[in-house]
Structure 1
């Protein structure tokens, strides 16, 4: 009771009931597609539910491998890089969660869920030394970068797997206004040995290069990625660009990309496209025939598109479309996804309306926050000082107390007027005084 209740009690006083009263139209409790395979993706389930108020707290909660569910109820602004550890859930509250000019790095980590958050790198300061990096950080200006090339780890451990990114919004600047193609990098990239990833119900818009799966022709890992019910709008290219690996795309809606290049199947890639809707897209699907990219198409719609694969022509909905050049064609693929998502797959004619209705932030509820310590409340008038502290805490009187860490593990307990934390490492702790809870920051 205590280990779960101490954190939930604190959160019950931080989050008002109104902050969670958003009408949820889509309540997926788990991913479909590749992130559901090989044990599934559960994120921070089983760990405490926490609400950071500073970036330092956010990074503290996000670090390590213990499960934690992190609710984001505000804007965090950089420039900065958030290093996300294994067994974590990042979940935006309502429409308030905003990661602004902060690149999220998933480097050789596993079992991660990111939902209902808005991301942008718009205006982030960058170096201009040939390959743009966030100023002060050796990190590409990606909104989310999934990687697996940490050379400090043994090669066998250089993997990232089981990642679900759902109901988020990604954007930078209108490419017709920001004409520098390289000002930013990707909105959501996956490089190296990345496995069992599902990307669903996200809104990608106003950017040059959306998603890169595989950083170069030597990045020959067998990536496994599912993309479903995403919306791409006013994007220049990479929707996505894939090298090697396997990609299943269904029920995605790509629109208003008049100068845009859609899915680009490059070296030794295999894509399976079913029931996707392309509208007003310059080049919705193409490859590089000399590199052996492959794709299989089933029940897709191409409306008012300009350049299309030969197998899609003639097309009554794109009567003026011209064929791709021979070099931009691709081979036929025999790849079929090893799972079924029939229960969430819409007829292709319904894709625009369904995706527009349910895509992006504000459509799913944050995890419920309830008080499990019956009959107790946080005493906002209760004083513990100094807080933050470098060691000694004054309790303003004699109290029975218990100190726990972020995972609810009891570290110290006693009865006194002061507590000495000088032997504890810097970070966030929860202090239960009698039947009330206080959050303590140790510097």
Structure 2
């Protein structure tokens, strides 16, 4: 059921904020190390990275290595601010007593107390992985690591975007974007791997996408010395499996959004236990369970949403938690944390996750609430006041002149009823439609670049005319409310340039069925 959401976004910076539609949007980008570690990275003495050390700038991989090698010793704190593209052409081995580096990979080996943070126009590690080995107290923040290969050319870091192994302790990876362009057959391995006694790690507010493998904890069924890892407020999108795969140890995954998980998601096996809190699983398969082994793991589940998730049947080496996921263990989480409601997660992460978002975070107070029909503050679409017409109510006129900009655009939303699809509202077919999973919900049209829009036309499916009650039209990018009213039809507003526009149904007279969400540059 679609929920109304009350949410807050805060920055780790002391920055001015623009408040629109109940969201605080920090107006300055992050520089240097910001915020404090969360999750299991707060344990075992905590994770502070290079806090208190010298701050240096780097625009090449060689300069990153020079900064590491120029310290008094291998544990001297340092913050390395990175801007620009780091690639094979500018990343070479540097020698020194305080470092152990190599060509063609960012090597954080046998060192401690280091922060690497993207600044300015951003930091992109292109086809070049970050390798953490035998190290502790490491922070990586606000960077993109992309298209790292283990086969083909060029190769780096065994094909892992970020890989940790051999007695690693206390790593916080925050607000990063990790992405590939395919699976193992295309030359890629994993996005975020931990092996051979790696512990006390947190991955937060990050995007992992377009890969065959999200990441694993433990390289084999016998590698059970890893764990104490937290994954929170991350977007996993278009991943085949391992979101993550855990062998032994303890994991905690909360307030993550999983979209398009093709084969299997959270794979708890070989004695692992994982607590799974308030996540949003969408358009995916087998998002939780023990897969590809008979050495089973366990899980505790609380407050999750499963939206169009399919489940396979239990069998040899295949033990899905669904279709009715229940807890099989109780997990002890030793740190404090704030949970957003699962229904808020997609919208919260759309504004906070990944590199280049200003290191914004949720305040943990987002609540998803079903509208209360007895609450006099809720809209009453069935009892409009004829003496107070809303000038923004649509008129039952013909569609606006011009080209329907929704043709060829993308679509998403807050939820969808079984048998319906977001894409049905942009397919030009009045015989298909989208419905929310409840009586209210959001449907959105989106483009890859800024698009000028000044009117929309909401067309209801046959037999559902009049079911849409009250609504809002919102610029998804800024949160600005462009129009409010009730009933379907043509809705005009001042021209706005945006990449995503929302039609939020806040009240209904029956199950809404939106056949087409047309958009136009002119009214």
Query: Could you say whether these structures have the same fold, taking a TM-score greater than 0.5 normalized by the shorter chain as the test?
Result: yes
Cα displacement string for residues 73-120 of structure 1 (whole angstroms, at most 9, x for unaligned residues): 111112711111311000001442111121211101000000000001
Answering whether residue 268 of structure 2 is matched by residue 265 of structure 1, we say yes
Residue 97 of structure 1 aligns to a residue whose secondary structure is strand
Instruction: State the SS of the aligned residue for 2:145.
Output: strand
Residue 349 (str. 1) matches residue 343 (str. 2):
yes
- Partner residue of 1:42? 48
Shift of 1:260: 3.5
Kept after mapping to 2: 8 A contact 1:220/1:244: yes
**Which of 127, 133, 151 is the aligned partner of 1:101?**
127
The 1-side partners of 2:53 and 2:34 are apart by 20
The answer as to whether partners of 2:150 and 2:189 remain within 8 angstroms in 1 is no
In structure 2, the CA distance between the partners of 1:180 and 1:41, relative to structure 1 (3 Å rule), is closer
Q: Go from structure 1 to structure 2 and tell me whether the alpha carbon gap of 1:185 and 1:62 turns closer, same or farther (over 3 Å shift).
A: farther
Question: Aligned-pair distance for 1:256?
Answer: 2.5
- 1:204 is matched with 208
Q: Tell me the number of residue pairs that the alignment of Structure 1 and Structure 2 aligns.
A: 306
Q: TM-score, normalized by length of structure 1?
A: 0.65
From 296, 302, 306, give the equivalent of 2:306.
302
Distance 1:28 1:54 in 2: 22
Q: Is the partner of 1:303 in helix, strand or coil?
A: strand
In structure 2, the partner of 1:91 is 117
For 1:170, the equivalent position in structure 2 comes to 178
* Residue in structure 2 matched with residue 143 of structure 1 by the alignment: 161
**Candidates 351, 361, 364, aligned match of 2:355:** 361
1:332 match:
328
**Structure 1 residue 364, shift from structure 2 partner:** 2.8
Q: 1:172 to 1:270 in 2, by over 3 A?
A: same
Partner in structure 2 of residue 228 of structure 1? 232
Change (3 A) 1:49 1:72: same
- Give the RMSD, CA atoms, in angstroms: 2.4
Q: Secondary structure at the match of 1:362?
A: coil
Tell me, yes or no, if structure 1 residue 282 matches structure 2 residue 285.
yes
Alignment of 1:379-394 (within 5 A): none
Quote the residue 1:213 is aligned against: 217
Q: Give the drift of 1:287.
A: 0.2
Q: How does 1:233-244 map to 2 (within 5 A)?
A: 233-244=237-248
The whole-number CA distance in structure 2 between the counterparts of 1:274 and 1:28 is 26
Q: Match for residue 64 of structure 2?
A: 58
Partners of 1:105 and 1:59 lie apart in 2 by: 12
How much has 1:225 moved relative to structure 2?
A: 0.1
SS at structure 1 position matched to 2:252: strand
8 Å contact from structure 1 (residues 146, 191) kept in 2: yes
* Cα distance change on mapping 1:222 and 1:144 into 2, 3 Å: closer
- Equivalent pair of 1:223/1:244 in contact (CA under 8 Å): yes
Task: Report whether the alignment pairs 1:75 with 2:100.
Answer: no
Structure 2 equivalent of residue 415 of structure 1: none
Question: Structure 1: how far apart are the matches of 2:258 and 2:121?
Answer: 23
Q: CA deviation at 1:270?
A: 0.6
Structure 2 unaligned blocks of 5 or more: 1-25, 90-103, 322-326, 361-523
State the alpha-carbon separation in 1 of the partners of residues 59 and 281 from structure 2: 41
The answer to which structure has the higher helix fraction is: 1
User: What residue number does 2:151 align with?
Assistant: 126
TM-score by length of 2: 0.55
Inter-CA distance 105–262: structure 2 relative to 1 (3 Å threshold): same
Change in 2 beyond 3 A, CA 1:107/1:23: closer
| SS across alignment from 1:74 | strand
Taking the aligned partners of 1:222 and 1:171, their CA distance within structure 2 comes to 24
Which 5+ residue runs of structure 1 have no aligned equivalent?
Answer: 1-19, 128-132, 149-158, 308-321, 367-443
